[in-house]
């Protein structure tokens, strides 16, 4: 853990790191590149990932990197990856709590061989008796969004057995 001295330590078990902060997760994901073949596990708890944090950027793992969580692990914000391939995200609960995000999970650019499975994905809660769409006061959050870009690819995307709540569109794939 970060003891206030800038040193971050993690529990490491044969090909698995258990982390207790977003900064530890970023350190581990960077350290795992380019080999991959590891498991990154969040300890039970609530983690604020914000709306702009990218947990992995420009990481192409040669073997699948698994990102998972112990029971009752909750990520608050937008889960984002950019130009990151060979990743399996599973058993995480992600809550979008702000109207400034346009998605709960955001894949930017070339995110090949990317799997999101057995997760709970929650958009911004709204009152089902109100007409928020017409009045413009409710943000239309997508569950899983891919903004591919002109130079990116999207090969091998799998979205399996997820529970997705309070979103405008389950999935949104944009090719520019």
At a CB cut-off of 8 Å and minimum separation 6, what does 5 contact? none
Predicted confidence (pLDDT) per residue in 129-163, tens digit = 555 555 555 556 778 888 765 555 668 888 999 99
**pLDDT tens digits, one per residue of 70-116:** 999 999 988 888 888 999 999 999 988 766 677 889 888 888 899 99
pLDDT score at 166 = 80
Distances (CA, A) of 104 to 27, 32, 129: 22, 25, 23
Confidence of residue 121 (pLDDT cuts 50, 70, 90): very high
Does residue 66 register a pLDDT over 60? yes
Q: Angle 142-148-152 (CA atoms, 0-180°, nearest 5)?
A: 160
Q: Please check the confidence at residue 165 and state whether its pLDDT lies above 80.
A: yes
Rounded to whole angstroms, how far apart are CA atoms 108 and 52?
A: 12
Measured CA to CA, the distance from residue 175 to residue 6 in angstroms comes to 40
Mean pLDDT across the chain = 79
Given phi > 0 = left and psi -120 to 50 = alpha, else beta, which region is 15? left
Number of helices (H) and strands (E), helices first, in the chain? 2, 17
What are the residues whose beta carbons fall under 8 Å from the beta carbon of 100, sequence distance 6 or more?
51, 139
pTM exceeds cut of 0.75? yes
Say if residues 80 and 121 touch (Cβ distance below 8 Å).
Answer: no
Determine which of 8-22, 45-59, 115-129 has the lowest per-residue pLDDT on average. 8-22
Mean pLDDT, residues 160-168 taken together: 86
Cis peptide bond N-terminal to 34, omega within 30: yes
């Amino acid at each position: 853990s970060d003891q206030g001295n800038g040193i971050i330590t993690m529990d490491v078990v044969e090909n698995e790191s258990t982390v207790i902060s977003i900064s530890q997760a970023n350190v581990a994901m960077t350290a795992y590149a380019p080999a991959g073949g590891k498991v990154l596990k969040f300890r039970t708890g609530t983690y604020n990932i914000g709306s702009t944090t990218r947990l992995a950027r420009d990481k192409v793992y040669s073997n699948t990197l698994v990102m998972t969580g112990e029971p009752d692990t909750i990520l608050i914000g937008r889960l984002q990856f950019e130009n990151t391939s060979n990743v399996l995200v599973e058993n995480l609960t992600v809550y979008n709590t702000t109207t400034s995000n346009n998605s709960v999970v955001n894949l930017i650019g070339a995110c090949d061989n990317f799997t999101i499975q057995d997760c709970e994905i929650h958009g911004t809660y709204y009152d089902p008796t109100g007409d928020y769409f017409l009045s413009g006061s409710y943000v239309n959050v997508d569950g899983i969004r891919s903004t591919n870009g002109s130079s990116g690819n999207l090969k091998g995307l799998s979205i399996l057995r997820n529970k997705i709540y309070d979103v405008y569109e389950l999935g949104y794939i944009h090719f520019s």
